[in-house]
Amino acid sequence: MTSRRRTLVYAAIVAAQVGALAYAARWAEDRAALGHTDSLGWRPFPWPFPPEPWPAGRAWTGDDHDVYVQLKPNLCADCQTEILTDEAVDRAVDIQRLDPRFEPVGPGSRIRITDLFGRARTYCHKRRNGSLRYAEGVAFTYKCDLIVAIVDGNVSDPQKRKAGRDFLESNTPQVWLLKQLEGR
């Protein structure tokens, strides 16, 4: 092999290594910006929904669920009332952002997440392979702000639904939510 060819091979190897290191550094920077995986194995991922009038929310995955939490500031019509009806949950959560085929399964129920009361409703749609996909929409108010969450997973199973709700009450989303509410 000539020295010129050898130099080109070495240069290509060095360029590939520099590119791989740059990619790894960028990936690590993105992961650090999202936050760490919590002790229960929930890890954040980028907010998947298009821009809206409200700030982007936060998304986590773990335990066979994806959980999306969003603060919608100053959205309550009456700051003293809670989310009382299923129609209010449907409007607030906007489950069609996740998949336009979702339809309510039945009536919702009152829910308590930490010290806030709201309403939850289960939604379902049939996939192309015939299996059913379930998600739960949760909406509650804090002062004049609306907080919405979507728990996407097999929430028809009570244990899976409980795992999603337990995550909503855990430190990971609560710390993020408190930072969003600071100064409000």
pLDDT tens-digit readout, 8-61 = 777 778 777 777 766 665 655 555 554 555 566 788 999 999 888 888 999 999
Which pLDDT value is given to residue 59?
Answer: 94
- Percentage of the chain beyond pLDDT 70 is 83
Least confident range of 23-27, 35-39, 143-147, 167-171: 35-39
Mean pLDDT of all residues in 163-170: 91
Q: Which amino acid is at 143?
A: K
Q: Which distant-in-sequence residues (6+ apart) come within 8 Å of 82 by Cβ? A: 117, 118, 119, 140, 141
Question: Does residue 91 come out as left (phi exceeding 0), alpha (psi in the -120 to 50 range) or beta?
Answer: alpha
Q: Is 135 helix (H, G, I), strand (E, B) or coil?
A: strand
- pLDDT value for 107: 94
Contact 140, 120 (CB under 8 A): no
pLDDT tier for residue 183 given thresholds of 50, 70 and 90: low
> What pLDDT, on a 0 to 100 scale, did the predictor assign at position 104?
94
pLDDT band, residue 62 (cuts 50/70/90):
confident
- Closest listed residue to residue 92, CA positions, set 57, 126, 124, 66: 57
Q: Which amino acid is at 34?
A: L
What's the CA gap between 31 and 168, in Å, rounded? Answer: 21
Q: What does the pLDDT look like over 11-22, one tens digit per residue?
A: 778 777 777 766
Model confidence, pTM:
0.76
Residue range 142-165: mean pLDDT, rounded: 89
